[in-house]
Structure 1
Amino acid sequence: MEHDRTHTRAWVLHPEIKSDEQRRVPEPALDEAVALAAALPDLDVIGSEVVRLPRAQAGFLFGSGKIEELGERFRENEVELVLIDGPVTPVQQRNLEKAWKVKILDRTGLILEIFSDRARTREGVLQVEMAALSYQRTRLVRAWTHLERQRGGLGFVGGPGETQIEADRRAIDEQLVRLRRQLQKVVKTRTLHRAARAKVPYPIVALVGYTNAGKSTLFNSLTGAEVMAKDMLFATLDPTMRRVELPDGPEVILSDTVGFISNLPTELVASFRATLEEVLGADLIVHVRDISHEDSEAQAQDVETILTSLGVEDDRPRLEVWNKIDLLSPEDRDATLARADRDPAIFAISAVTGEGVEPLLNEIAKVLQGTRNQAKLTLGFTEGDKRAWLYRQDVVREEEQTEQGFEITVLWTDKQASKFAAL
């Protein structure tokens, strides 16, 4: 049987463990795991299944009968990699790799692989490297036999009899310290960029949502930007900012953020805080949901949980967008539109066809106009600096020259008004 040798033949397993209170609906969970695997360009997913278990076995995760049955299936299909959608301990990983003679990757490992494949900015790359090292460090629980051998030392290289596992761990810790330093420099630069942006009078609108909800498609249609918008989990990893002029409204900066996901590896939640910092500074948060997904409610809940953990206050202005109505059946579509109509903060749209996008933009403009007030100013001919400042801030709506100077109508934020007063 001829296979494409550049691609790895993979099989996805979703263990449904009865005793696990955190367990998700198995079928959508398996679909998501397969979509995660499909996000890696060099994997061919040739099979997937839900494996139901009363409880996880400490050493092997699955029972011996199930291991044998699965092993046979993997041999028949010449599987090289098994992706297990859930946590796998280093011991379970080693035992299963021995039993099945394939490589094992758990959910965290898979997400790390995708993140490292997708990260584009310097900061994103550094954060992924750090997350991967933290993850690797936990795998050094004698996960490989070579780590168990002792190596003598000359005293100054970690002391005599330091085990290879301790040496590897120390090497990882040193690398983490190095990366942390580099990251601090990068974050400092970003803080400077953000400070410069804070001087820009445009309000920031952050698009957030579960991965694959259609944020990037909406972002692209609003900004004409070419952000990667594939039907693929984690298509966007680094926040992308663009300026958008709203119809009859203010200009805004639109920010497209990394997609959220349930059970995001803790290493990544911590390291991707900075990627989501744009959300903390946003004047308005637009939560985009894939309303056609059968697990849409649970996904929305995951997003809310992450926003809370980031420290986003409940009183921050928010709109909810029910995207992908073009994928609903006519009956579901009518019901969804009726439900959305009842709540002024919910908008049913299709980012692909553009349906419903205009009312959404009008509402964004309305919400943000609330942060700007109109005022009339009188400036003398000698106050050229102040007049130039108003034009730089792009707040002048009308200007009339009089004998005394200039009558200027401005539309500005309270912050701009107080800055102007301090000039």
Structure 2
Amino acid sequence: MFVDKVDIYVKAGDGGNGLVAYRREKYVPNGGPAGGDGGRGADVVFEVDEGLRTLMDFRYQRHFKAHRGENGMPKSMHGKSRQAMLVRVPPGTSIIDKATGEVTADLTEHGQRAIIARGGRGGRGNARFATPANPAPEIAENGEPGQEKELTLELKLLADAGLVGFPSVGKSTLLSVVSAAKPKIADYHFTTLVPNLGVVESGDGRSFVMADLPGLIEGAHSGVGLGHQFLRHIERTRVLIHVIDMSGIEGRDPYEDYLTINAELEQYNLRLMERPQLIVANKMDLPDAEEHLELFREQVGEDVAIFPISAVTKQGLEPLLRAAVDKIESTPEFPLHEEDQDQRVVYKYTKKDEPFIIEKEDDGTFTITGHEIETLFKMTNFDRHDSVQRFSKKMRRMGIDDALRNLGAEDGDTVRILEYEFEFID
């Protein structure tokens, strides 16, 4: 089964917890703090494996959770940091953050890697909190939570040339006779439901990869038929081979087909019109094909190169393949995303996220949210009195106490952070 789009969940490893410990050695009656730091959690790293061709494996495993760092140990020994968790994907995989819709990474070359979720740092042990005023602190941090994300993986095939055209114009037949590929061929529409790849020899020692893609119909740019499933794969091709049924055997006008396909490409992604096209007039072995070709030449103009062929009888294939490989060699790769074109470094001011947001619920509860305060909360060990005091001081320094008073919080009111509730004491 060919799978080219899946949704998955990834969770990087949390940092290991810091330790509260003291030196316990003979002849050292008042040993100082000796709690070690926790190790860093494992990152989630995606790596390209050229041996993979589809995203099929992700149909059976959609959750990826990396190992957390090792906890700190006595004698100021740090816990081990974990090795990255490798997730292998086929070449041509785009990784999209579902929350923001942004492309996190675009992986195309074998061995290429991208860190998709970063592991949390290890919590500090009490040896890191010793001061002259407090030489024996009972403070240790929990590990920082690792990043977690919901992602969409999209596979866009890496082909030099892509066959485009209406259903049943002979794209699969053409691929089958110029390569060793064995696509399904039948006399009904949408015989090809998934992309097929084949390596094509041009006859002069050169070769290229050709993709036979599911047929387009009107409205494909908005998802009609196999629209989006087809169109995403054509984004990476250098050259489009536009196959047209010149026999008109199904009652369609070849010129109207030509205009409709180009309109769908343009509406899906305007940059697809920058791709060079080779116009292939197929089924020239059928009656009326020559008359239709003469009319088609008049309609498109003399400047447009047209290659009359018959995929069934293999007529006219050699000039087409040589022209295709010439065009591929003279055409640079197109960047998949607009931002790839501009490599300048631009310094842009971005507003820092609010450290906390307080909302008063209908039941009178004050809910505190925000990445900074939630991370601080998760890294606080509430089993230690000194750690709780440190958390309270940090909240006051952040201005949370004053913000609660300004919103009308009084003694005994409930304050909620994540799923935990506390009592506000003024």
| Common fold by TM > 0.5 | no
More helix by share: 1
Which of the pair has more CA radius of gyration?
2
Normalised by the length of structure 1, the TM-score is 0.40
Normalised by the length of structure 2, the TM-score is 0.39
